[in-house]
Structure 1
């Protein structure tokens, strides 16, 4: 018969094992997330030395590609959930078959976008406000970059498969290797080497496409080898591809609501009275604050990625108790990470702005905004973790509904904010707190805890 002391030791051992698993999945995911913006910055440096027009053109085309990839992130999230559930159920072949369906869906979407981008490129760059001088180079860059859409989406889908298989190390290696190759190719193709004079701006787009092809080939190759070992066909299964597409629709809606909230915030900044953030200084301060917020989000998003994989596997195994216990522990991780990032941001708030600007007006606006962002970090920790848990559970319909609710709650708060600091308070304790509320409400119940290989409804 066990004693209270024995039970305490057992609980400690179980908690330590859970922590080790979360760390095993989250740490490589965090490094992969951080690597991407660093290499994007390197691309900007390479193109920036060509001239302002070229840099602006790459920025416009890059914004369009980033938006597309953001909307298609369901290829990673949805695949992670479905694959992890089947792994939990002991159906490795079924997991890989579902993963192959996701890869073929990525191919279908990617080819359609590439074909459409050629005639639409001039119109799209104009919609983003490109000037006559920038529009031509931006359209040319976009047409080349769009050729990399299929490998980009294959990277997302294959990463989702590997995360579902509880492997975040391979995507990390692919991300770092692919981005290093991207830098090398960009330097050579932009500026030339030896007798090769370089292609200028077009070389940057081409270098990125080639690096994306290599990275996609590596990730897809890993998945394909696993599928062949499990006896899974690599041929497209149209019903499976259609099912993967239908499952992704709610996550697209969720993503659209998040993007809409961010765009609404920028609109609200521009609408503020002059001197309270509604001018160039206010927009600059907001941009810096959002960049800092986004960087800190990587630490929290890494835990969310671990939550997707672990939750899906637990529910697939039919273990609601484990799913509940893991959710509780990951929430503790999220809050702790939020407290840590919040304290760090609060301590650095008076100094961070100087890394971006010497404008005293911008710095004066920025400090209180960063302090508000610091206070909101624990709330963000809750949001990111529960978002990952429910994505892992396949609860996309609720996440879409929750996104619409929070956007409705946030819109009037943002539009009525009298200053930049109050707008950020509305974002932090209106939008993020509303997200936390709807996610906590869902997590307390059991409707999302559908066991087996069926996703939540």
Structure 2
């Protein structure tokens, strides 16, 4: 244990990766807020179209995050082994894969946008607005995925600053362009979609230019891309488990009462925001643990893992205390509805109590993702969802448990995940050394 603790990295090495990663993670939600504020002044119908279209686009991109997380895991190992050219080459193949998947998603999206929007909205006017926005915004899908791949390989070679610059540059330009296209140019809701595509194209262009400057451009390598897809398979299934849980929670809250779904939305959006904060530490873990394993230094990987775990717990405890103290004031910033405010405590104290647990779970997720242990994470997440979250959510609807039942389900989900990742971490079976890890199983 003493040897493991002695192999830690300086704290500044963790935070120089975590802080820019937080900026990248926060950039998209902040841009969505700007977009919403601009379109919101057009009226309720365009805003509804943006809300539904944005949700569908976000759902697609969320399912394909393996292009960033999986690429980081594979690239970090090669970087740690001293094979920078091969590490960047991994980024090249991830970029080819991003373009191929992006074209498929774009084509499928154009065909399915209408039927899906009509099925989800139940209102012809809202569906029409959704489709008009979504079909334009989908044109940026290949660039969204290129940006994910770019974030992945740059994090893998421990360059976290350039991705932040690239993403902020695209989003800043788009934030300035959006109100111009919506109002003076007169494109309305469609102007918002065009600005979205511009943001993704500019950011992706920077990542593509970075690959050219690295001098590592290579033709598509199907063997490498298939290996990335095998890792991606596990991460996609894991993401689907998350989506099934979170959509079920919102559905049950909506069927409980208007006040319940409003209160759930307030607390849930705060949960999502704090998840970004905790996930930034996990991203640092991915890069540092992967590099240590690539260098065949298992004690260093274990030392970094223990260090990241402590940071996650401390950060989670601090956030829990902060939001416990903020309870008398913070919910009122989101709503003045007396019924919603009365329902908030039924979720709030679960949210506060879960922060230390989330800090530890997210930290260990980052460690295991950095090790490429995606198959285990897939199984742990699916098991936690099936055994914990989903049964309690739907029992809450049947038995009238309301928000307390929904958030009890989330608590059980997090506790089960905690048990799984703690056991895995303590076993040491994740610490497979070498420049490449076989993900076939």
TM-score, with structure 2 as normaliser: 0.94
Larger mean Cα displacement after TM superposition, 379-388 or 241-250: 241-250
Find the partner of 2:418 among 432, 436, 442.
436
User: After superposition, what is the alpha-carbon deviation per residue over 1:125-163, rounded to whole angstroms, capped at 9, x for unaligned?
Assistant: 112225111111211211111100000000001110100
Query: How much has 1:32 moved relative to structure 2?
Result: 2.2
Give the match's secondary structure for 1:147: helix
The 1:341/1:456 distance shift into structure 2, 3 A limit, reads: farther
Look up the match of 1:350: 328
Q: Distance in 2 between matches of 1:123 and 1:314?
A: 48
User: After superposition, what is the alpha-carbon deviation per residue over 1:1-35, rounded to whole angstroms, capped at 9, x for unaligned?
Assistant: xxxxxx99xx78x75x4311111110111122223
**1:57-456 → structure 2 map (5 Å cutoff):** 57-192=49-184, 197-226=185-214, 228=215, 232-271=216-255, 278-410=256-388, 411-417=390-396, 418-428=401-411, 430-455=412-437
Q: Distance in 1 between matches of 2:47 and 2:252?
A: 27
**1:20-31 → structure 2 map (5 Å cutoff):** 20-31=12-23
Give the match's secondary structure for 1:453: coil
Higher Rg: 1
Give the match's secondary structure for 2:159: coil
TM-score, with structure 1 as normaliser: 0.91
Query: How much has 1:456 moved relative to structure 2?
Result: 5.9
Task: Identify unmatched segments of 5+ residues in structure 1.
Answer: 1-6, 272-277
Give the match's secondary structure for 1:455: coil
Query: How much has 1:368 moved relative to structure 2?
Result: 4.0
Query: How much has 1:237 moved relative to structure 2?
Result: 1.9
Q: Distance in 1 between matches of 2:120 and 2:137?
A: 17
Contact 2:313-2:356 at 8 Å conserved across structures: yes
Contact 1:162-1:223 at 8 Å conserved across structures: no
Query: How much has 1:422 moved relative to structure 2?
Result: 3.6
Contact 2:93-2:220 at 8 Å conserved across structures: yes
Q: Distance in 2 between matches of 1:329 and 1:444?
A: 14
Query: How much has 1:174 moved relative to structure 2?
Result: 1.5
The 1:99/1:20 distance shift into structure 2, 3 A limit, reads: same
Q: Distance in 1 between matches of 2:283 and 2:330?
A: 28
Query: How much has 1:415 moved relative to structure 2?
Result: 2.5
Task: Identify unmatched segments of 5+ residues in structure 2.
Answer: none
